[in-house]
């Protein structure tokens, strides 16, 4: 008998990514991509993002189905960052795992304006299984 992992995505805001054009990031995919689920599972299994081949092998085995339980609505978030601020001078940022990374590229002295689209109050039920491998 095949086993499934059921995940319920229920959050105030969520985004399933889509092609990015300039400062606008869309969320027009109506469900999570296989790569997103592979990243989620790989993280839960303790894989490092540097273990690319291992993550690709996991992704190739994923089979899933999505049920939209509540569609939610698309909202647009307006974001700015002042690259001239003193704390941005060295171009450093902290990651969620406690490492410092250096900002690469981009203009050094200006305010960046971005728009991000999110799904508000949507709910999805996702059934995931892995092909033998």
Q: Give yes or no for residue 115 having a pLDDT over 70.
A: yes
**Buried residues in 89-123 as b, exposed as e (16+ CB within 10 A):** eeeeeeeeeeeeeeeeeeeeeeeeeeebebbeebb
Name the nearest CA neighbour of 36 among 10, 4, 69, 62.
62
| pLDDT category of residue 12 using cuts at 50, 70 and 90 | very high
Q: Residue 118's pLDDT band (boundaries 50, 70, 90)?
A: confident
Tell me the CATH number for domain 5-130.
3.30.70.2660
The answer to whether residue 101 scores a pLDDT higher than 60 is: no
pLDDT given for residue 120 in this prediction:
94
Q: What percent of the chain has pLDDT over 90?
A: 47
Given this model, what pLDDT does residue 79 score?
A: 79
Is 121 a residue whose pLDDT tops 60?
yes
Quick one: pLDDT at residue 122?
94
Quick check: 109 pLDDT over 80? no
CA 92 to chain centre: 22
Residue, of 29 and 76, whose pLDDT is higher: 76
């Amino acid at each position: 008998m095949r086993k499934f992992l059921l995940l319920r995505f229920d959050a105030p805001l969520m985004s399933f990514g889509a092609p990015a054009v300039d400062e606008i990031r869309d969320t027009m995919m109506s469900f999570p991509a296989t790569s997103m689920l592979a990243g989620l599972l790989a993280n839960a299994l303790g894989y490092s993002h540097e273990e690319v081949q291992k993550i690709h092998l996991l992704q190739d085995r994923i089979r899933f189905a999505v049920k939209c339980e509540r569609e939610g609505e698309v909202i647009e978030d307006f974001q700015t960052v002042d690259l001239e601020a003193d704390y941005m001078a060295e171009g450093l940022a902290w990651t969620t795992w406690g490492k410092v990374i250096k900002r690469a590229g981009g203009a050094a002295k200006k305010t960046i304006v971005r728009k991000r689209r999110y799904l508000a109050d949507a709910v999805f039920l996702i059934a995931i299984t892995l092909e033998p491998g």
